[in-house]
Every structure is written in C-alpha cells, then in structure tokens.
Structure 1
Amino acid sequence: MALDNTGFSSCPESLSLPVPEKGEESVEEAPKDAPPTDVQNTFEELGHVVTTETAPPTQPQTNNNMSFQAKMAAREAQANQSRKKLQGVGQERGKFGWGRSRRKRQRYVEKNGRCNVQHGNMRKTYRYLTDIFTTLVDLNWRCSLLVFVMAYAVTSIWYLIAYCRGDLDHLEDEAWTPCVNNINGFISAFLFSIETETTIGYGHRVITDQCPVGTMLLLLQAILGSMVNAFMVGCMFVKISQPNKRAETLVFSRNAVISLRDDKLCLMFRVGDLRSSHIVGANMRAKLIKSKQTQEGEFIPLDQTDISVGFETGDDRLFLVSPLVISHEIDVRSPFWDMSQGQLEKEDFEIVVILEGMVEATGMTCQARSSYLAEEVLWGHRFSPMMSLAEGFFDVDYGAFHHTFEVNTPSCSARELALATARLDAHLYWSISSRLDEEKWEGPNLTEQTGKSTDSESVREGDRPTFTVGGVTSTQDQSVVGEQNGSVTTDQSESEA
C-alpha cells in the first residue's frame, strides 16, 4: 500500500506548529475572507515567535478520519513542543536535528580540581586518631581552631578544685590556705591556666603546697601545654604552606580541542602558570573516565584509561615558563581512535588532566587538576596564539588563554583518516611506477627494453608495498594491461591483522 507524502511536503515547517489536544479538531476551518494562498501565520510560545507559511486551507479532519501522515506529523510536532519546553526558548534546529537535552554527566573531578567523591558508612573511624597530625591538617580552619581552644578545657578543672575545696567560700578568711592564691572565680581560674600553659607567670596567682591535686594538675598541664603548642604551631605552618594553594595559580583552558597537527588528529588543551616562580620538574598526565562493561557482563561505572601525552618521547616533562599546548596524538593506541565528530556529540566521558611538579620556593610537591566533559571538547578548533615578541622579552597575553578559532578539520575518525591517507599514498606510488614504465617503453631499442621491463616486473612482483593502518592491512597490486594507452589496474585487498 503506497503512502501519500503530500502531508509532509505541503507543510515543510510542521515541526513548529502547535499541536491540537485530544478531542479537538487537528485543522481548524479557514475563515471565509481569508486569502487562498501565501498566508503568514504567527504563533507565539513563551516569548519565542515562529513564523511559518501555511498551505492552502483544507477540510477539517478529526482524530478518527486523520490520515497516517497527519497522525505522524501531529505526533512529531507534539514531541518537538515538549522538547522545546525542556530546552528553553530559542532552541534552533541544527545540522543533527533538534538539540537533545541529554542529562549532564556528573563530574568526577571539578574544574577547580576538587574531587567530587564523598566517603560514607565507614568502619573503624578510630584509625584517624592514629595519625592525629594529618587529621588536624586535613580539618578546615574552624575545626582546627576549635580543637585547640578545647585543649584549654583544663581551665575548668582549676575552678572545680577551688570549688570542691571550698576556696571560694573562704575568700575573706586570712587563715585559710587555698590551692591557688588569688582565685576568686572562673575568670581568675582561666587566667591562671593561660599563664601556666604559656609560661607567662605574672606572679599574682600562684599554687600553694597545701594542694597535692593541684600539683599533679600543674605537671599535667605543663606537659599538655607543650604538646598543644607544638601541634598548633606545626599545624598552622603546614596549613599555611600547603602546596595546593600554589595550584590555584596553575590554570587550564576552559575547553579542549581536536584538530590536525602534522596531518594527524590530535586532542589538545592549554596549561599555564601565572606566577613568576616556576614549577620544577613539571609533568603532565591525562586519564579518560568512562563507564565500561566487560565481556563477562561486569559493569565498571568509572573505568580509568591512560591517555598518552608524550610519555614515550618525554614530551610529558614540561618546562612551564610560558603557556603550553599539551597534545595527545590520536593513534591506534588512543581510546579516541574510532571516534568521529558525529560520535563525539553522542559520547559520555570525562577527561581528567593532572599537572604535578615541585614548588620552586618551598620544595614541596604540588598537583593541579581539571577535567573536560564531552561537550567541552571542540572539534575543528585550535587555540589562538597568545605570545608576542616585545623589546627584549616575550610578552604573554593571558586574555587570549581560553580563545579558540575554527580550522578545516575532517569530520571522520582518525582510523578512517589514516586508512584514506595510506590508500592515497599507494595510489601515488603506483601512478609514479606506471609512468616510469611508460618512459622505458618509448625509444628505438624496444626489444632490449622489453626484456629489461620483464625483469623489472618480475622483481616488482615480490616487492609489493603493504600499508598497515591500525588493525587493517592494505596491499596494493598493479598489472600493466596495455602498451598503447598505458592503462593501470589496481587491486586492493584488506584483511584484519
């Protein structure tokens, strides 16, 4: 049964028309005084105006007697309307249809380098106390200061001793010998504790020999005060000089790009150092975070794959004096070997980049991290230059650090590009060989050259070039068909390696 396509051809912009509700007529009757053709209807939806040119008015149809084409058009229009509501106003229909509102991937590493991981339901939390210094360093400033303030809680013990012995009740009794002289309340007990722990010793408040409990507490507070002061000074120094603060001045480009470099597709991103003091022994690493399912059916939600940024050649060791563009060549070992531009728009992955080095001023190891989602990778772009030569020095303009511009880049995958390049090289090889054979056949000594050409053909039979691209081997064969026109026949055979 042949289907009539007039329902689609007569309404080319049907995706922007409103959709009738159930039970209503899908097509309203045109008014009698309406012009027959070229009528401009304007529909306004959420502030977005779409102007379409309607077809000549047709007879009203109900849902029962609607044609198959009209039902499909109405269903598609309804889907597009709900899609536009999710995407917002002003969504255009591009090269690959309406932009689909796919769920944004949850980052494993934030753009500022913070790892988006929270640990819960942990057992044996006492292990944190075995490394108390690291625990104090990892705490934020508020918690650290609160811990050190709580260390002075022994102040209340001096007050309790004075209260239990009755020293506060005999303040006016000169014959009474208190545990600590001149303590008349909590404030005075607190000041005595601070004077003892910090070894200030004003001399106005002093412990007496009539209180053995106070003597033991004084000894305990002296030891505890030394430990608290050592922990506090060390923790403060480490927290202030932490190398992760140095990572705030190491910046990564907002986007990564894919373009040609030396006739090969490369994934590139830019990194720079804002300080004049350099990072010593800087090296770069990159990992691909993507879900994976093994052949046995095991699902790995965050599978990590190394992305080579020059580890074999030493290009991963950077001299980070000026901003550098880090390049990953997409070859057969790359996880992006079979990814084209169309597949990139459908992929769901995250690229984590890690820059490590030693801070020149302190000698401590520093690490800066960032990440790129699939939608943050721009195909067919290249970074804008940001360095110029001034009088006696190189001027770096960080205003163009994130800028990119479009360049001509094939939309195919690196595998397809390499295979096409190999076939082109093979075609050029045989074209040059055939021309050389034609030049040998021309001349007076036709018989001698025939024998020589026969010998050369026999040698060339065993020396056929083989081009291997990834896992595909392409072998080129050539045979001379005629002597007059010099036509060449090329046979190509491909086999999996």
Structure 2
Amino acid sequence: MSQSVHGDSKVQILDADAEAINMESTATTPDDLQDGTSKHRGLSFKNSGLLSKETITRILKLNRGKIKPVTTESRSVSLGSIDAVADLRKRKGNERRLIEKDGSLRILHYGLAEKKSRFLDDIFTTCVDLKWRYIFLGFSSSFLISWLIFAGIWHFMFWAHGDLEEMHLPEAQEGSNWTPCVYNIYDFSSTFLYSVETQHTIGYGLRGSSHKCADTIILQCIQSIVGVLIQACIAGIVFAKLARPKKRAKTISFSSNAVISQVNGKLRLMFRIANIRNSQILEAHFRAILLNNITTKEGVTLRNFPTEMSLSTQLSEEEQEPTDFGHMFLPLLVSHCIDETSPLYELTPAELITSKFEILVTLEGVVEPSGNTTQVRTSYIPQEILWGHSFTNCVSYANKEGVYLIDHSKIDTTITDCTPRLSAKQIDEENRRAQ
C-alpha cells in the first residue's frame, strides 16, 4: 500500500488498484471513477471504494486532456513519476551500471596477457594509483632496504680493509697507529648508523671517512647520489598523489535523481549540480553519454554503445546551439533537450520503467587554487529518472547577513508538475495536429 498526502485528504491505493493501471487508456471525467473501472489519459484506475469523488477530483485535474498531479515534496511516492506500487516494484532490482553515484567505475579487467609487466612499464602512474598505505609502506621500505644494502657493502669493505680486527678497533687505533677507512666503527650497528648518516648527510660528528681508502670515497659518492634519487622519486610520488584533483571531485555534488519535465514548451532531461566549496571550478564543461545497446541497419547489435547527448545550462524556447559550460557560483541546472536528434525522442514513461540504459554525466574543469584539471562523474539509470518532476529552489537570500544561502539538503528535492506522460515525439505530433 502506498500513500500520498495533500492537505487533509489521504489517498490510499491498494496493490490490486495499482495493478489495474493501464498506460494505453484514454481520458474521461472523475465522476466515472465512483462506479468502477475508469480511465484518464495515460492512466486507468480500478476503484475499490477507497477513493472519494473529492479526492479523485483533487488528484486528476483535467487540463486539456493532461494530468495535473498533486504537488508533493516526495520523490519516491508521487503520481508524476510512479503511477502505483506495481510500477515501484518494477523499478526495484539489481542496479547494472558502469559508473557508481560517487564516480567510481565498475570495471574489472581480465584476459590481458602480461598485465603486470605493462603496469611496471608505467611504474610512476602505478605508484600514484596505489593506496596511501602502500605508498607509506613503499616509502619506508625503499629507505630501509637501501640503508641495509649499503651498510652491508660498507661492512664488507671494513672487513676487507681489516678495520674490524680487535687490534684495529677504535680503542686500539691510537696505540697501533692504525688509520681506518671510517672512524668509530665497532660492529654492524655502527656501520648501519654510518650508512644512514651518509645517505641523508646527517653528520653527527662521531663517524667520518678517512683518506686511506679510495673505494670508500667512491662508495660514499654513490650512496649520496642514490639517496637523492630515492628521495626525489618518493617526494614526486607523494606530491603527485596529494596534488591530484581527484579529491576535488568529493566537493562537487550531483543530484541523486534526474528529472524529465516540460520547460518552455520542450521536454527536457535535467539534473542539478552544486559546488560545496567557495573556490570555483574554472571552465566547467558538461558532457553526457547514453550507454545502451543499438542495432545497425545491417542488423548488427552493438552492446554498450555510447551515444552523445547534448547538454546545456540554458532553457531557451528557441532552437540554439547548446551551451555546455557554466559558472557554478550557485547550484546549476543542466538539461538535455529531448528533440528529434535526441536518443530519448521516442521514449515514453511506460518504456522508461522497463528500459535498460545508463546516462553517464561528466564535469570537467580547472581547480582554481592548483590549476589542475579535474573530472567529476556520475550516472543515472532509468530507476533514478523521475518523469513529471522538477527541482525545487534551494537558494535564498539572508538580508541581515547580506549573503546567499544554499541549502544542500534540498539539492535532491523535487516536486511533481503537469508534464504530459507522452514521449517528445507524441507531443510534437499532437502540436502539429493542433496547428
């Protein structure tokens, strides 16, 4: 059972009533709904006695044969998007999508030969794409391993030179007149400390090389160069990961649902996007792709074929070139005009419920503080497209503070409107017949 509340009246539609809805019926008057099964343009109700005449008149207002639904703040239960509980059940199920609502991709690669070697060929990008825990693990391991390797080489050189013999240790060097390769070396622990000090030019003053061993001078130069290279690589990877504009996408929010509504005489698919930060996205451009299966004239079916959909931030009545860029000072309404060139031109509300497609939406722009280019993406599947809805206002002005207020809790809020439950093609045909 579903409920829609308007004023003091409540409408209850049982499951049996919901299943009686027929999308191919014609119009009549609300009086007939009192007797039994009655019809209205786009809807057919089988009254079970729970619908009063006053309630029916309030729900189905005749306006040139079109339904003017009751205004409600609810998206999930409304006559503008879901006719009844039976249609709501059709919308439920496993979501098959390429892009998650947060922009992450549902992709798993397999059957690729030499996959690991290809990732190693692009080692820098591979490192940047790693998670932070692996970055810190690699950061620590690279230094620790290099310290140990060079400490082992240093210790071998000290052993080969005889500095580790008992009579040549630091306490006996003055009496035996022995000059070691490196002063104050007792065992491997002191050798390890010298390796760390050499690689990072710490210089505590306890240990230092002498002029007696030419090989230690060469090894000292090599370790200093290797240490600089390791630091440069690690610093570059960490900085690249920190400076990635990917995290900027977390402060851009898309509306959770898209709507189809008639605006300025044209049927439009619309969604809303808002910037949480005061710093702007410069040169913000929007793109949309319809991902579905198509069949060519030769009868070949192309699965998951991307079809471009023109977007615009303007709602002009006249035909004009779509404006796919905009300033995001305030929440922005982006729309796709459903005309003859649109892949949704023949889509009806009944077909929308059972359709299997995905609309991929991307925003590309320049992050103002860093100058990096970022991309924000999301997607809408048929279950997330509300027919006969429009977005409510979420911006107000505070006179006392002198600032605009953006209520982000209303970014997703929609209300039903009087959009006809007809495809854009059917609307155009009716308009031509009316002329």
Specify the SS of the correspondent of 1:267. Answer: strand
- Residue 124 of structure 2 corresponds to which residue in structure 1? 133
Moved more, 112-121 or 317-326: 112-121
Once residues 377 and 187 of structure 1 are traced to their aligned partners in structure 2, the CA distance between those partners, rounded to angstroms, is 67
Question: Does 1:113 pair with 2:103?
Answer: yes
TM-fit CA distance, 1:347: 0.4
Taking a change above 3 Å as real, the CA distance of residues 406 and 246 of structure 1, as seen in their structure-2 partners, is same
Specify the SS of the correspondent of 2:354. Answer: coil
Question: Does 1:104 pair with 2:114?
Answer: no
- Residue 402 of structure 1 corresponds to which residue in structure 2? 412
Once residues 233 and 294 of structure 2 are traced to their aligned partners in structure 1, the CA distance between those partners, rounded to angstroms, is 46
TM-fit CA distance, 1:214: 3.3
Question: Which of 288, 291, 294 pairs up with 1:289?
Answer: 291
| Contact 2:151/2:191, CA 8 A, preserved across alignment | yes
Question: Which of 214, 218, 221 pairs up with 2:220?
Answer: 218
| Contact 2:310/2:322, CA 8 A, preserved across alignment | no
Stretches of structure 2 that go unaligned for 5 or more consecutive residues are: 1-14, 17-82, 314-319
Taking a change above 3 Å as real, the CA distance of residues 395 and 95 of structure 1, as seen in their structure-2 partners, is closer
| Contact 1:105/1:348, CA 8 A, preserved across alignment | no
- Listed as ranges, the matches of 1:199-214 within 5 Å are 199-214=201-216
Stretches of structure 1 that go unaligned for 5 or more consecutive residues are: 1-11, 14-92, 426-497
| Contact 1:159/1:185, CA 8 A, preserved across alignment | no
| Contact 2:261/2:388, CA 8 A, preserved across alignment | yes
| Contact 2:150/2:223, CA 8 A, preserved across alignment | no
- Listed as ranges, the matches of 1:2-401 within 5 Å are 94=84, 96=86, 99-100=89-90, 103-120=93-110, 121-123=112-114, 125-152=116-143, 153-161=145-153, 162-163=155-156, 165=160, 167-168=163-164, 170=166, 171=169, 174=173, 175=176, 178-296=180-298, 298-310=300-312, 313-391=321-399, 392-401=402-411
Once residues 88 and 146 of structure 2 are traced to their aligned partners in structure 1, the CA distance between those partners, rounded to angstroms, is 69
| Contact 2:127/2:237, CA 8 A, preserved across alignment | yes
Specify the SS of the correspondent of 1:332. Answer: coil
Once residues 302 and 142 of structure 1 are traced to their aligned partners in structure 2, the CA distance between those partners, rounded to angstroms, is 35
RMSD: 3.0
Structure with larger Rg: 1
TM-fit CA distance, 1:118: 2.8
TM-fit CA distance, 1:149: 2.7
| Contact 1:148/1:228, CA 8 A, preserved across alignment | no
Taking a change above 3 Å as real, the CA distance of residues 185 and 387 of structure 1, as seen in their structure-2 partners, is same
Specify the SS of the correspondent of 1:192. Answer: helix
Q: Given the two structures, how large is their TM-score scaled by the length of structure 2?
A: 0.70
Once residues 179 and 336 of structure 1 are traced to their aligned partners in structure 2, the CA distance between those partners, rounded to angstroms, is 80
Moved more, 390-399 or 121-130: 121-130
- Residue 67 of structure 2 corresponds to which residue in structure 1? none
How many residue pairs match? The answer is 339
Amino acid at match of 1:109: I
Specify the SS of the correspondent of 1:345. Answer: helix
Taking a change above 3 Å as real, the CA distance of residues 270 and 201 of structure 1, as seen in their structure-2 partners, is same
Moved more, 122-131 or 364-373: 122-131
Once residues 254 and 97 of structure 2 are traced to their aligned partners in structure 1, the CA distance between those partners, rounded to angstroms, is 16
Specify the SS of the correspondent of 1:195. Answer: helix
Question: Does 1:417 pair with 2:393?
Answer: no
| Contact 2:285/2:363, CA 8 A, preserved across alignment | yes
Once residues 96 and 112 of structure 1 are traced to their aligned partners in structure 2, the CA distance between those partners, rounded to angstroms, is 29
- Residue 488 of structure 1 corresponds to which residue in structure 2? none
Taking a change above 3 Å as real, the CA distance of residues 313 and 376 of structure 1, as seen in their structure-2 partners, is same
| Contact 2:269/2:335, CA 8 A, preserved across alignment | yes
Amino acid at match of 2:352: L
Amino acid at match of 1:388: S
Taking a change above 3 Å as real, the CA distance of residues 98 and 260 of structure 1, as seen in their structure-2 partners, is closer
Taking a change above 3 Å as real, the CA distance of residues 254 and 143 of structure 1, as seen in their structure-2 partners, is same
| Contact 2:87/2:353, CA 8 A, preserved across alignment | no
| Contact 2:289/2:360, CA 8 A, preserved across alignment | yes
TM-fit CA distance, 1:244: 1.2
Once residues 295 and 212 of structure 1 are traced to their aligned partners in structure 2, the CA distance between those partners, rounded to angstroms, is 79
